[in-house]
Chains A and B, each alone.
Chain A
């Protein structure tokens, strides 16, 4: 696992200019725009994608065949990719939250509680998106994986819109339900959502591991 992490860090080192551009975009948005929620979401997602680009690097020139002759297991490889994505997405999430708090404190715009709530909402979304992206990347490879993922998001959106339409037709008022939920303690809701995201993450790891164990190189 450590060897694989070292390899991925070395691969990503080659993209350090891209990394610097992203950091510059995030910092300038933080200090020159009033909307902090944009980079709070943007930074962790971009860095998770950045970590997952190592899957494409591994595939380059049939590199996976040699990689799996090294002393690693396929499950170990899968777990390493999740660790890497969580490590990068997680650090970017902490950094973005920290940056938002500082920029708002300097500008005196939004209150810190609001920032922390948006930050806590972003975390489970980040985990769920990673949980969807990684198995698709592993199953279909870098390029096709992205296309397949866009398809999945499209289907999810269609289902979501259809659900809203159906509920409207049935006379269920969704905003009312949401308002009712917000009466509950915010902490409890966030905890439930994060736990649900973790369950999705575990299912995703299991699926990815099975995908890798059945692959032939």
Chain B
């Protein structure tokens, strides 16, 4: 669906070097701190910034050869941009009708009604939640094959987030060929939605793992200095000095449960893995 190979982009004090792949029928997550390079990656995929080098192929086609017709197969949500705030929902309906051949008017209006979005109010007067919902509704209402979603749940409360994630699940269930590339600061969103997760730090992909593996095999070992010195470091991805000794991230939880029954082992979460990968010392 989407393949990024050695995408490089240099700014004054930042350089991005990223490779990732989104497979057909999969939801792929991209996580990282603010300024890690997530948005730059999204913008490069969408052709909003030029890639310094490397290649980006979407639906097997080089991005440079992408036509407006090809773009109809993409549904996009950007964190910091959307339809002009001076337009209303009623205004954007004819715009979408004229832009997308497969715009589903009935679905769109149903969703707008379901989420109680006002039809005649200017978008700039919408609440954060309403704006976010509208962006996702627009992205999923024209039969796109690939959704590219940069922070679609940013600033939303739990209920609104859940409703949006439900909309994305329904989008995936309708057609098994569809895919999603999504970034989020809220790791629980990704844990429940994504098939695999890429972690990006300082412009580099530092980890790529299936979500099941991440949640099932990754764990945090909390050990004293003495325990740390005796610990088999073979499956330790990285470690960090703590007041009590060390916390270590492993990708073989079972190995340590069986061989070190006395040490404290915490289930891995995306948040913990991010913190360890960013702040920890690589083994």
Contacts and interface: CB of A to CB of B under 8 A. Distances in A.
Contacts of A160: none
Contacts of B80: 62, 65
A68 B76 CA distance: 10
Interface in A67-83: 68-73, 76
Contact of A71 (B47, B71, B78): B71
Given A7-B87, A61-B85, A66-B83, A73 B98 contact: no
B65 interface: no
A99 to B, nearest CB: 30
Contacts of A32: none
A102 to B, nearest CB: 35
B48 A60 contact: no
A67 to B, nearest CB: 8
A73 B84 CA distance: 18
A113 interface: no
Interface residues of B, number: 34
A61 B46 CA distance: 18
A11 interface: yes
A216 B10 CA distance: 13
Contacts of A2: 98
Contacts of B97: 3
A210 interface: no
Nearest to A65: B81
The prevalent SS among residues of B at the interface is mixed
Contacts of A31: none
Contacts of A106: none
Interface centre among A2, A7, A58, A62 (most CB of B within 10 A): A7
Interface in A158-217: 216-217
A64 interface: yes
A60 B78 contact: no
B136 to A, nearest CB: 13
Interface in B36-56: 43, 46-50
Contacts of A3: 95-99
Nearest to B124: A61
Contacts of B49: 216-217
A57 B71 CA distance: 23
A108 interface: no
Interface of A: 2-3, 6-7, 10-11, 13-14, 57-58, 60-66, 68-73, 76, 216-217
Interface of B: 43, 46-50, 67-72, 74, 76, 78, 80-87, 91-92, 94-100, 124, 148
21 contacts: A3-B97, A3-B99, A6-B94, A7-B87, A7-B92, A10-B94, A60-B85, A61-B84, A61-B124, A63-B82, A66-B82, A66-B83, A69-B74, A70-B99, A71-B70, A71-B71, A71-B99, A72-B99, A73-B67, A73-B68, A216-B48
